[in-house]
Structure 1
Amino acid sequence: MGLKPQRDRLCLVQLSSGDGNAHLVQIVPPALGGRGADCPNLKAMLADPGTTKLFHFARFDCAALQHNLGVTVAPVICTKVAAKLVRTFTDRHGLKDLCKELLGVELSKQQQSSDWGAPELTAEQMAYAASDVLHLHALWARLEGLLRREDRLELAQACFGFLPTRGALDLLGYAEPDIFAH
């Protein structure tokens, strides 16, 4: 519903294994007739240390999933962090920009600010949600190549390892003031 996990409820989790399919898990609270955070299979997969989870902006996603589902999501890869480490010539690190510039794929963000808390999502919302994960594997492949080329893959992996902790710090209120700032 928004970008503050302590205030805004989690409504949807999108998944893709990179095979061209997306799976959408709608989180509907009991007050609206759903099961809320009662999703044991999703929680088990997210917490599985043998399954690497690929995100764009994993810092937020780790925090939101921790707060709403009570799981520490790890290990993770973040295409946003990867892009910032190797695309230092630009400040365009959003998913839409990266997909266009690295993959030649145009993403529509028209549904981004629609009502994700509705009991039933529209076809347009579901298509938008799917597009947010369908290109992550191809994007990561391009970014991983750039990280290797620039000898920054090990640095990226260290950053990825810290993201669940960074999300936990954000949940505790350490986003502002940032404890890493001077």
Structure 2
Amino acid sequence: MAEKSSSPAEFAVFDRDLDAAWTERYLQSPRLAVDTEAMGLIHGRDRLCLVQIADAEDRVACVRIGLGQTEAPNLKRLLEAPTVEKVFHFARFDVAALAAGLGIEVNPVFCTKVGSRLGRTYTPRHGLKDLVMELVGVELDKGAQSSDWGRVDELTDAQLAYAANDVRYLLPARERLEKMLRREGRWDLAQRCFQCVPVVAELDRLRFHQIFEH
């Protein structure tokens, strides 16, 4: 039976940027789980509202992005740090959102959705909920997914819990995907795909679609 998600070991909410202490703490991690919430799916029209980060110690931070905000120096330093792998689910969206909203060029990247499609070829179900259920054994509540993230100063407990849970299980899922990809001889291919994510994200921001099609 799947477990219900519990509360994080540590949880903090910041306005506009991470503070120095959490930034330094996260910079000591070899990898971090990252997610974003926005007003919609179109970069440049739909603004970035929230950035969520979790480490392997289950310490979760949510950063509320202000209306009209274009910079977050600590987030930029962390998410561009070459020594820290950033793990996303459907990374191309989040990488594009962070570039469009805050001028952050995220790298290096691991995408659990790409990893799932390369490794879990026995299923068409590559959404985060299905992935976490199978690989981690936790049932995610996605009820707050389509909600108003723009009211960053008034986010509900349900929204913050949803945001936290979207990153808390990415790191264990990533570890299981790596084992699967190595076993199936696709780890090197996956890494090359992850290296392409920033380019694909930039193409998305510039509204170039299907440029490799005939």
Alignment match of 1:59 (pick from 71, 80, 92): 92
Q: How far did 1:165 drift?
A: 0.6
Deviation per CA, 1:153-178: give whole Å up to 9, x if none. 00000000000011001111112xx1
Deviation per CA, 1:98-144: give whole Å up to 9, x if none. 01111110000000011101132111110000000000110001100
Higher helix share: 1
What is the letter of the counterpart of residue 157 of structure 2? A
Alignment of 1:98-137 (within 5 A): 98-118=131-151, 119-137=153-171
Is it true that 1:19 corresponds to 2:57 in the alignment?
A: yes
Alignment match of 1:69 (pick from 98, 102, 118): 102
Structure 2 portions without partners, runs of 5+: 1-38
**Cα distance in 2 for residues equivalent to 1:48 and 1:21:** 19
1:166 corresponds in structure 2 to 200
List, as ranges, runs of 4+ consecutive aligned residues in structure 1 with deviation greater than 6 Å.
Answer: none
TM-score, normalized by length of structure 2? 0.79
2:213 corresponds in structure 1 to 181
Deviation per CA, 1:57-105: give whole Å up to 9, x if none. 1011111111111121111000000000011121100000001111110
Deviation per CA, 1:38-69: give whole Å up to 9, x if none. 31100111112221111001011111111111
Contact 1:5/1:63 (8 A) holds in 2: yes
2:75 corresponds in structure 1 to 42
**Cα distance in 1 for residues equivalent to 2:197 and 2:174:** 17
Percent identical pairs in the alignment equals 54
Counterpart of 2:59 in 1: which secondary structure?
A: coil
Equivalences, count: 175
**Cα distance in 2 for residues equivalent to 1:164 and 1:27:** 22
Counterpart of 2:197 in 1: which secondary structure?
A: helix
What is the letter of the counterpart of residue 13 of structure 1? V
Q: How far did 1:7 drift?
A: 1.1
TM-score, normalized by length of structure 1? 0.93
Higher strand share: 2
2:47 corresponds in structure 1 to 9
